[in-house]
Structure 1
Amino acid sequence: MFGLDAIDIARIQFAFTVSFHIIFPAITIGLSTYIVVLEGLWLKTNNKIYYNLCVFWAKIFAVNFGMGVVSGLVMAFQFGTNWSGFSAFAGSITGPLLTYEVMTAFFLEAGFLGVMLFGWKKVGPHLHFFATAMVSLGTNISMFWILSSNSWMQTPQGYEVVNNQVIPLDWFAIVFNPSFLHRLVHMGIAAFLSTAFLVAAVGAWHLLQGNKTDENKKMFSMALWFIIIVVPLQFLAGDSHGLNTLKYQPTKIAAMEGHWENIGDEPTPLILFGWPDMKAEETKYKIEIPVLGSLILKHSFTEQIPALKDVPPQDRPNVPFVFWSFRIMVGIGMLMLLLGIVGLYRRYKKNLYQGRWWLRFVLLMGPSGLVAILAGWFVTELGRQPWVVYGVLRTKDAASAHGDLQMSISLLCFVVVYSFVFGIGYFYMIKQMKKGAISQPIDYAQLTHREE
């Protein structure tokens, strides 16, 4: 298929399925927490605006949660079908970690989801709020275990290899491997920001339609407050994560920077743009700033960062993909910061909800958080190549013995089915978003058994 072999197609298939899947958990993590905040504010203030927003976003959360579960199950099956070598080698570690995720997170989410969605008129307000909080807690616990498993593949610790199989020795070292906490914070903030931009975009769309209800203004304002506060924190988290990656995966950092070789004792420049040429082993047409690479990555004016030529060609990732995926992620981060600053200025000028160019900008930035997450994961996964377990198991040794035709047919089926099934899901969520939060009278006696 297009000159690709079975392993290449298997990698594309996994990348395709995981790219579809990661969007749903990202929204689920952020949206569940947002719903908890809305319901808590409603219980505290008795303001029905928060209740209306809570009910509105809970409907979207339910659809997104269902699609996330389905896409996640399909993705997990590929460990056995397409990557049996990996399962046989590292299953003694990744298997238990994924089992912990099911037992501690999925059961918690599934157990309380029904109460959260359908229990408004059946349980008291505090019990319903508790159920909502447990669903949110479950989504965050799920992120904990999934990132622990993936981080171990990036920075493996606490094991030994016996008869070509990984044997766990120290589960604390395995779970809290060197990159785990950095990646957990970075991904968690990314999920919350993705939700904030989605919420802001929905509010902007309704404001552009002239639907300037209190609910639309409130969700728009809340999202923009969150953005201006949290985007700078994400830059700090990203810097910490980058330093950790430099320590444990220096070749990935070199690919991100398009840095091929160090010249004498010169500090490393920062390449803004260019085209990495893997055959020529250089970044062509580059625009660079002297010394800045050393300053950002080493926090030094003199220290150099490792270069791609420091490792053999067979140990290098696909540099152009890593290089440009990283720049897409950072570029979106800059736009996010710009949006937050403009929003703060317009709030100061008391015209936050006006200006068609401004509202259109927020609307266009709606999917930016999700695009940044995808770009970031491309950097993480492509930058790890040619390893599945970094420095321990190569990708070519992890794949199942399938033929090119088998993998091509499988990939085609995935593309067709995913596009149809999840395309319908996306369409339905967008349709619900366009309806907006409907203001309605609240019968407290029936709804929450609470006195007015």
Structure 2
Amino acid sequence: MFGLEALDLARIQFAFTVSFHIIFPALSIGMASFLAVLEGLWLKTNDSTYKDLYHFWLKIFAVFFGMGVVSGLVMAYEFGTNWSGFVDFAGAVTGPLLTYEVLTAFFIEAGFLGVMLFGWNRVGRGLHFLSTIMVAIGTLMSTFWILSSNSWMHTPAGYELIDGRVVPIHWLEVIFNPSFPFRWAHMTIAAYLSVAFLVGASAAWHLLRGNDNPAIRKMFSMAMWMALFVAPIQAFVGDAHGLNTLEHQPAKIAAIEGHWENPPGEATPLILFGLPDMEREETRFKVEIPVLGSLILTHSFTEQIPALKDFPKEDRPPAYVVFWSFRIMVALGLLMIAAGVWSLFLRWRHKLYETKAFLRLIMCMGPTGLIAILAGWFTTEVGRQPWIVYGLLRTKDGVANHSVTQLSITLVSFVVVYFAVFGIGTVYALRMIGKGPHTGEGDLTTQGGPGHDRHPKRPLSASDEGTEKAHSHDQLTGH
């Protein structure tokens, strides 16, 4: 297929499925915590605006959560079908970690999700709030175990090699491997920012259309506070993550920086833009700032960072990918910080909800959090190459023995099915967002029957058509 080998197709297939998958858990993580905050504020203030927002975003959360579960199941099977060499080598570590995710996070989510979605008028306020909190905790625990397993593949620790297989010796070292704390914090904050800008973009869209009500203003205000305070924190966490990567995966940092060699006595410049060329072993057409690379990465004016030529060619990551994916992530992060600062200025001028240029910017920034997450994951995973377990197992040794034809058929099938199923789900969620929150949505009752409103209890109920038809029928029949 297009001259690609089986290894290339296996990598493309996994990259495609994991890229689709990561979007929905990221939204679920951020939105579950957002819902917990909304319900907590409603219980504290008794302001019905927070309750209206809770019911509005709860339905959207249900859609994203469902698509995340479905897309995750596919990846679990992919490990066995396409990467049997990796499973045989490192399954004693990654298998238990993913099992812990099921036994803790998934069971918590499954136990409390039903109460969260359907129990609003069936259980007390305290129990329902507890259920929302537990679902939010469950999403964070899921992130914990998934990132622990993935981080171990980048910075393996707590193991011994016995008969060509990894055997865990110290589980705390396995779980809390050197890169895990930084990557878990970075991913969690990224999920929060992704939801903040999705919520902010939806509010901006409604404000631009003239749909101005307290609920719209409230969610726009909350999103901008999140951007103002959390986006700069993400920058500091990212810096700490970069320093950790420099210590444990120096070749990745060299590829990210497009840095090929260290002239004696010269500090490392920061290359802003350029075209890394793996064959010519140089970054062409580069625009650089002297010394700044050393200052950012080593916090020194003189210390050099490792260069790509310090590593054998077969151990170098593809710099042309990670160089640009990293810059996309950083550029979007800086844009988020700028948006937060602008929002503070407009808030001070009492023009936060009326400045159309700012509203248009935030509306366009709706997907930026998710794009930054994808760019960050490309940087991390492609930068690990040619290793599937860094320094221990090469990617080419972890792939299953499938033919090009088999992998081509499955890849095409995945592309068609994923775009159809998850495309429909995404459009459906966007339609729900387009309807916007309605005042008093949380006051609908569940008694049903003639003469009573009945709030739909299906989590995918995007419209009120059923309720409207019931009212029309009652008017026609005189009930």
TM-score range, shorter chain: over 0.9
CA distance in 2, matches of 1:3, 1:323: 25
Residue 450 of structure 1 is matched in structure 2 by none
Residue 18 (structure 1) shift: 0.3
Residue 235 of structure 2 is matched in structure 1 by 235
Q: 1:224-303 counterparts in 2 under 5 A?
A: 224-303=224-303
CA distance in 1, matches of 2:26, 2:369: 9
Residue 371 of structure 2 is matched in structure 1 by 371
Residue 442 (structure 1) shift: 5.7
CA distance in 1, matches of 2:227, 2:158: 38
Aligned: 1:117 with 2:111: no
- Name whichever of 60-69 and 436-445 sits farther off: 436-445
Residue 389 of structure 2 is matched in structure 1 by 389
Residue 355 (structure 1) shift: 2.2
Residue 421 (structure 1) shift: 0.3
SS in 1 for 2:284: strand
CA distance in 1, matches of 2:400, 2:312: 26
RMSD: 1.1
Give the aligned residue type for 1:35: L
CA distance in 1, matches of 2:194, 2:441: 31
Runs of 5+ consecutive residues of structure 2 not aligned to the other structure: 448-479
Residue 195 of structure 1 is matched in structure 2 by 195
Residue 99 of structure 1 is matched in structure 2 by 99
CA distance in 2, matches of 1:445, 1:17: 40
Give the aligned residue type for 2:144: F
CA distance in 2, matches of 1:444, 1:2: 56
Residue 412 of structure 1 is matched in structure 2 by 412
Give the aligned residue type for 1:14: F
Residue 75 (structure 1) shift: 1.0
Residue 466 of structure 2 is matched in structure 1 by none
Runs of 5+ consecutive residues of structure 1 not aligned to the other structure: 448-452
Give the aligned residue type for 1:55: H
CA distance in 2, matches of 1:131, 1:355: 38
Residue 55 of structure 2 is matched in structure 1 by 55
SS in 1 for 2:388: strand
Residue 444 (structure 1) shift: 9.7
Residue 445 (structure 1) shift: 9.6
Change in CA separation of 1:398 and 1:212 when aligned onto 2, cut-off 3 Å: same
> Deviation digits for residues 385-423 of structure 1, max 9, x if unmatched?
000000000000000001111111110000000000000
SS in 2 for 1:160: strand
Residue 473 of structure 2 is matched in structure 1 by none
Residue 428 of structure 2 is matched in structure 1 by 428
CA distance in 1, matches of 2:36, 2:153: 33
SS in 2 for 1:121: coil
> Deviation digits for residues 240-284 of structure 1, max 9, x if unmatched?
000000000000000000000000110100000000000000000
Residue 2 (structure 1) shift: 1.1
CA distance in 2, matches of 1:28, 1:443: 25
Give the aligned residue type for 1:422: F
> Deviation digits for residues 307-355 of structure 1, max 9, x if unmatched?
0000110101111001000000011111111111111111111000012
Q: 1:308-347 counterparts in 2 under 5 A?
A: 308-347=308-347
Aligned: 1:33 with 2:37: no
> Deviation digits for residues 409-446 of structure 1, max 9, x if unmatched?
11000000000000010010000000111111765998
Q: 1:36-185 counterparts in 2 under 5 A?
A: 36-185=36-185
The count of aligned residue pairs is 447
Q: Which has the larger radius of gyration?
A: 2
SS in 2 for 1:236: helix
CA distance in 2, matches of 1:130, 1:250: 44
CA distance in 2, matches of 1:146, 1:266: 41
CA distance in 1, matches of 2:240, 2:33: 24
| Contact kept in structure 1, 2:121 and 2:446, CA below 8 Å | yes
CA distance in 1, matches of 2:96, 2:442: 46
Give the aligned residue type for 1:430: L
CA distance in 2, matches of 1:244, 1:55: 41
Identical aligned residues as a percent: 63
Residue 398 of structure 2 is matched in structure 1 by 398
Residue 206 of structure 1 is matched in structure 2 by 206
Give the aligned residue type for 1:254: A
CA distance in 2, matches of 1:290, 1:399: 42
SS in 2 for 1:156: coil
Change in CA separation of 1:441 and 1:132 when aligned onto 2, cut-off 3 Å: closer
Residue 222 of structure 1 is matched in structure 2 by 222
Residue 105 (structure 1) shift: 0.2
Residue 357 of structure 1 is matched in structure 2 by 357
Change in CA separation of 1:432 and 1:443 when aligned onto 2, cut-off 3 Å: closer
Q: Where in structure 1 do 4 or more consecutive aligned residues deviate above 4 Å?
A: 441-447
Residue 305 of structure 2 is matched in structure 1 by 305
> Deviation digits for residues 126-162 of structure 1, max 9, x if unmatched?
0000001010000000000000000000000010111
Give the aligned residue type for 1:229: F
CA distance in 2, matches of 1:3, 1:266: 42
Residue 195 (structure 1) shift: 0.5
CA distance in 2, matches of 1:114, 1:167: 39
SS in 1 for 2:350: coil
CA distance in 2, matches of 1:184, 1:443: 38
CA distance in 1, matches of 2:351, 2:412: 49
CA distance in 2, matches of 1:446, 1:93: 48
CA distance in 2, matches of 1:443, 1:134: 24
When normalised by structure 2's length, the TM-score is 0.92
| Contact kept in structure 1, 2:121 and 2:445, CA below 8 Å | no
